[in-house]
Structure 1
Amino acid sequence: MKTLWRLIDDCRGATAIEYGLLVALLAIAGLGVLVTINTQFGSMWSGLAGRIPSLSG
């Protein structure tokens, strides 16, 4: 029974879990930023490609 209470009171694993959750949150946020930037750059390159024939002629 003492072993069970000792495991319940042990908080050492909580820090590792918190860091893991923080890394996961940052990865999700970074992925969202990359998707947004990719969409914006795709629109920019499409607009530029559409204007190139009119610039050369």
Structure 2
Amino acid sequence: MSSLMVSVISFIAGVKERFTSEEKGATAVEYGLLVALIAAIIVGAVGFLGTDILNAFNTITNALP
């Protein structure tokens, strides 16, 4: 019952609209940061392991008839 009361009071005060718009913006920023972090990890992994993976594929290719 108290959460309903808080929701009603927030709605009457106009606070609910402010929080939902702020949460949507924060969520978009958080997703953007996650995508940037994942991209940086992929670039780092390819840069660090790229030549080793290329050598492994070349060895496999040369071993095939």
Which TM-score tier does this pair reach, normalised by the shorter chain? 0.5 to 0.7
TM-score relative to the length of structure 1: 0.63
> Cα deviations across residues 2-57 of structure 1 (Å, max 9, x unaligned)?
xxxxxxxxx7152101001111110000001011111111000011112447xxxx
TM-score relative to the length of structure 2: 0.56
Q: Which residue of 2 aligns with 1:47?
A: 47
Task: Name structure 2 gaps, 5 residues minimum.
Answer: 1-10, 54-65
Q: Percent identity?
A: 12
Structure 1 stretches of at least 4 aligned residues deviating more than 3 Å after TM superposition: none
Please give the root-mean-square deviation of Cα atoms over the aligned residues, in Å. 1.9
Q: How many residues align?
A: 43
Q: Which residue of 2 aligns with 1:25?
A: 25
- For 1:22 and 1:41, the matched residues in 2 are separated by 29
- For 1:52 and 1:46, the matched residues in 2 are separated by 10
